[in-house]
Amino acid sequence: VQLQASGGGSVHPGGSLRLSCAMSGSTLSAYCMGWFRQNPGKDREFVAAITRSSQSSHVANSVRGRFAISRDNAKNTVYLHMNSLHPEDTAVYYCAAGTTKGDDTFLDAPEAYGYWGRGTQVTVSS
């Protein structure tokens, strides 16, 4: 399983970005998908996750109301829609795939995910 994240960049506060994560080597619909972010010297932080069934999605309190996660199983791609970006959203963003027993189970711990992409940098500054 390979995950390729893209869509990062530099934006001004209040701006928007959409991150994409394309899966190859497997079928996206078999996995719970998540997004995490990390800054140097800090732990990897949960941002959002979406269940295999797409019936449920979850976002961290720090981004609730601004970020959303979606998936397109036909395209084998998961997205992170980021609006009203703040400077504190600056980080390397990683997508991850995890196996779950249930279609509606989500994962928010990094150690629960078995596959990771290489990350894409998001910088929010004026």
The DSSP string of 83-126 is -S--GGG-EEEEEEEE--SSTT----SGGG--EE---EEEEE--
User: What are the φ/ψ torsions at residue 110 (nearest 5 degrees)?
Assistant: -55, -35
pLDDT digits (tens, 9 = 90+) for 53-89: 888 999 999 999 999 999 999 999 999 999 999 999 9
Split at pLDDT 50, 70, 90, the class of 104 is confident
Split at pLDDT 50, 70, 90, the class of 41 is very high
Split at pLDDT 50, 70, 90, the class of 105 is confident
What is the percent of the chain with per-residue pLDDT over 90, rounded to a whole number? 90
Section 86-114 average pLDDT: 92
Q: What percentage of the chain's residues is helix, strand, coil (to nearest 5)?
A: 10, 45, 45
Helix count (H) and strand count (E) of the chain?
Answer: 0, 11
